[in-house]
Amino acid sequence: MTQEIINLEKQYVLHTYNRPPFTFTRGDGTWIYDTDGNRYLDAGSGIAVNALGHQHEAVVRAIKEAADGLLHVSNLYHTAPHAKLAQTLCESSFADKAFFCNSGTEANEGAIKFARKWAKVNGNEQKIELVAFSGSFHGRTMGALSLTSREKYRAPFEPLIGGTRFATFNDLASAEAAINDQTCGVIVEPIQGEGGVTPANPKFLAGLRQLCNRHNALLIFDEVQCGLGRTGQLWGHQGYGTTPDIMTLAKPLGGGLPIGAILVNESVAQVMQPGDHASTFAGGPFVCHVANTVLQQIIKPEFLARVQSNSLYLQETLKRVISKTSLLTDMRGKGMMWGLISTIPATEIMTEAYQHGLLILVAGDNIIRLLPPLTICREEIDTLGQRLFKTLETVG
């Protein structure tokens, strides 16, 4: 059966991913099972989406409740779950208004448009430039891709949108050289995900804020991966002392359902008028009801406190693994978001880990990326450490 499914995908699905030779059927918390009955510890969470793990009781209940209500009405009409989700996101962040969409890419695409419009209203026709950073990942559509640094992702599709510049991440002098009076927006991940799990320096983010203020440009935080509890705080930029004008969210917000959000301050909200931006599916009552449930879990102080204390336990566990192998040299990250620097291609380790019942991710060529569910417990962290160590012993 497994081989049949793989053959069908090979024949009918566009080959834009290389997938491992098994097929998943069900999940439970931190665990996921394939058709051959193998059990894997899921330390990737479907790329930071399943923050509450698989089959979280509150999420399953919310889906069942939502199925009894309206699934879709379009954005032409009011619904309660939509209003409530916007309220909770704004009341728990810097933001005054929210706009919903269907993915992280789409959230960034919207942020680009908002920045362009804001600068047309508050600046002039020349104020169109967007600045992004080395190591960035903001998505794959033409606008978001224009701000994604990796050459391999960009080159086949050029020319991308105009008016974009790249500066070096965590290098304020480089940012200063790129940001000027023609800049409308500066987009940055407070902790870069795909680019290698690299936290921004506090001084770097604070410096970007000053440069944006000086040149009348918007500061945009892409928290699609690092936001919503991933760092042990609700927002990735919390603790940095720097506030953006726009923040984009997606991955974990819908508990596995597709939803993204663009949060904005009053100044940005002022320039957006009816007809300026839209989406047919976004912010529907079904997905918003589920997202409200996910958010209610994550924003609880005791939930975040547990993520923080289990993060310390995870860090100790990973440090022990690193100390016992020559294949890993260092680690960086925060909360439940860690990059382990490897001396061999990271995909070799990821592939070997399947044999040991462990799902891990990579970021770039030589970084192992760990994004376990925020709900992972200490016993599972022990198992993660053991399986990772066994993987490193048998790889190559």
Ligand X SMILES: *Cc1c(COP(=O)(O)O)cnc(C)c1O
**Is residue 129 within the footprint of ligand X (CB under 6 A)?**
no
The nearer residue to ligand X, 187 or 358, going by C-beta atoms, is 187
Q: Which residues of 120-155 are buried (b: 16+ CB within 10 A; e: fewer)?
A: eebbeeebbbbbbbbbbbbbebebbbbbbbeeeeee
**Backbone angles phi and psi of 26, in degrees to 5:** -155, 165
- 250, 259, 340, 371: which one binds ligand X (CB under 6 A): 250
Q: Where is 26: in which H helix or E strand?
A: strand 24-28
**Backbone angles phi and psi of 329, in degrees to 5:** -115, -25
> How far apart are CB 107 and ligand X at their closest, in Å?
7
- Calculate the CA dihedral of residues 351, 354, 355, 357 and round it to 10 degrees: 160
The nearer residue to ligand X, 42 or 189, going by C-beta atoms, is 189
Q: Which stretch binds ligand X (CB under 6 A): 135-143, 155-163, 202-210, 236-244?
A: 135-143
| DSSP designation for 20 | -
Q: Which stretch binds ligand X (CB under 6 A): 13-21, 79-87, 98-106, 351-359?
A: 98-106
> In whole angstroms, what is the distance from residue 124 CA to residue 107 CA?
24
Give the full edge-to-edge strand order of the sheet including 367-370: 328-334, 337-342, 367-370, 361-363
**Is residue 137 within the footprint of ligand X (CB under 6 A)?**
yes
Which residues 172-211 are close enough to bind ligand X by CB under 6 A? 189, 193-194
> How far apart are CB 337 and ligand X at their closest, in Å?
10
The nearer residue to ligand X, 116 or 230, going by C-beta atoms, is 230
> How far apart are CB 229 and ligand X at their closest, in Å?
15
**Is residue 236 within the footprint of ligand X (CB under 6 A)?**
no
- 44, 139, 143, 254: which one binds ligand X (CB under 6 A): 139
> How far apart are CB 16 and ligand X at their closest, in Å?
13
Nearest to 227 by CA among 253, 201, 207: 253
Beta bridge partners of 137: none
Contacts with ligand X by CB under 6 A lie at 103-105, 108, 137-139, 189, 193-194, 222, 224-225, 250-251
